[in-house]
Structure 1
Amino acid sequence: MRRVRLGTSARLALASLLAVLPLGLVWSRTSGYLTLPSYDPGTCTYADAGDLCYEPTSTPGSYVPGSVLHGYSTSARVLLVAAAVLLLVCAVRRRTAATLRLARAACVVLAAGAALALAGRASGSLVSLGIALALVVPLVWRPERRRRLLAPGTSSG
């Protein structure tokens, strides 16, 4: 069975799409709840004539609906759109040192978005951003560079 390999532009474009996918996903959901009814007997039963008092009141319980927070309404949307734009620019431009820096910046921004998704327990968004990082990180941080950088006989400090 042949293994299908994506080219660099295709990987960057796919990562760009995966970066904007969490904008349409649910990041958090709170459930609704019921409040308890209350009764206040008032003060008029014990008041003398001419005293200020208030009548008994009864407040029924009520339902407070929950809320749903989508990716497009979170603060992470700025990071996700920035990462998508950076990756798309890298996908359509010729490979240079500048596009490598842009792609590395996009990886950092994607990691920050993934950290926000993890903090918000948005599992679908976290998976999407994790796949986007898995597509881009091997392209921009290659192990050969690290081996050459930390070769024996060189100072690493």
Structure 2
Amino acid sequence: LKHRGPALVFDDYDAMMRAVNDEDFDVTAETVMILRNAGPVGGPGMPEWGMLPIPKKLLKLGVRDMVRISDARMSGTSYGACILHVAPESYVGGPLAAVRNGDMIALDVASRTITLEVDAAEIERRLTEWRPPERDYSRGYLKMHAEHIQQAPEGCDFTFLQSPHKLPEPEIH
């Protein structure tokens, strides 16, 4: 419920899975694993990647939990310290976009805080220089999705489906 450790950042799911399955992976139980670019736009579609696995190296040492943070989702129940649905997501310049490997992250559940222990000016500089991973969604559904999908707190709905008018509930017969 209280933890402080160095960030280990993954920009995509495949890289994370290769690393956690590598028994020579440079990771400890104190590490805070971060998977970013897995939100509504970055996934795309906010894939169910939020159950970041414990690295095999740590499992062999008896570690059964570690802090894991992502802008992905996970439905249902799982295990351990997973902080998900971080919004705005990293792919659109949210807070996870500023995190670098080795940055210290402090978590305090009782205080309801997650702190990136990096100077505010440095975070601002990183976010100013940040660019999303390149994608070629020049047309079709993925282009429409990337340009019009809302973030997790807004329900991941398309902006063009929103209405300023409240529709009455249909009569139930």
TM-score by length of structure 2 reads 0.21
TM-score by length of structure 1 reads 0.23
Q: Which structure is higher in RCO with an 8 Å CA cutoff and minimum separation 6?
A: 1
